[in-house]
Amino acid sequence: MQSEERVFETFLRQYREIFCVLINAAEQITGQYSLSFEQYLLLKQIHEQRNITLSELADDTRTTRSAAARKLRALLLDGYVEQEAKMDDRRVKYLRLTPKGTRVEDDIHQVFLQSARTWNQLPSDLAPETINDFFTRYQANVAIWERNRPKFHRPVTRTRRQAED
C-alpha cells in the first residue's frame, strides 16, 4: 500500500512538472503574438473548419460556450477573426479568420512544428514514434478513466432550520 502511495505521489509530481514545462513553452510561443495558448487553439480550429459557429467551436475545443466566447471576443477585437451572419438565419454567426488571423495562425503553427522537430532531436533511447505512442495511449486511458470515474457529489448540507425541524 505504501509503495502505491509513493508511485502515485511520484506520478503527480512528474505530471505537474511536465505539464508546467509544456504549457510554459506553448505560452512563450503564443505570447509573442499577444495570444494565450487557448486563444491559439481557437484560431487553429477556426482555420481548420470553415464556417464554424461559436457552439461548434466550444464543443470542438472541449470548453464551455461562455469561456470560448470570452476568448473569441479578444480575437474579434484584435482583428484575427470575423463573423458573418447566416443568410437564412441572422442569429447564426459563422466564424472565419481574417487575413491577419490567418498569418498569425500560420506563423504560430510553424513555430510549433519547429518546436516538435526539436523534441524529436533530443538524445534519447526512445524513438519519436515510441514517445508519440505513449502519449496516444495515455490520452486514450485518460478518456476511459473520465468515462468510468465515479462522479463526485457534494454532500448535502442541511440548513440550521432544517436541522431544527
The per-residue pLDDT for range 88-132, each reduced to its tens digit, is: 877 788 899 999 999 999 999 998 888 777 766 655 666 767 767
> Does residue 61 lie in a domain region?
yes
Do residues 104 and 80 make contact, with C-beta atoms less than 8 angstroms apart? yes
Find out whether 140 and 62 touch, Cβ atoms under 8 Å: no
**Higher pLDDT, residue 155 or 139:** 139
* Structural domain contains residue 153: no
Query: Domain range spanning residue 67?
Result: 2-147
Is residue 7 situated within a structural domain?
yes
Residue 163 covered by a domain = no
The answer to whether residue 156 is domain-embedded is no
Question: For residue 81, is it within any domain?
Answer: yes
Confirm if 68 and 42 have CB atoms less than 8 A apart.
Answer: yes
Residue type, 34: S
**CATH number of residue 15's parent domain:** 1.10.10.10
pLDDT at 142: 64
Structurally, the chain folds into a number of domains equal to 1
State how far Cα 136 lies from the chain centre. Answer: 16
Is 41 within the bounds of a domain? Answer: yes
Q: What is the largest CA-CA distance in the chain?
A: 69
Q: What is the pLDDT of residues 63-97, one digit of tens each?
A: 888 988 999 999 999 999 998 877 787 778 889 99
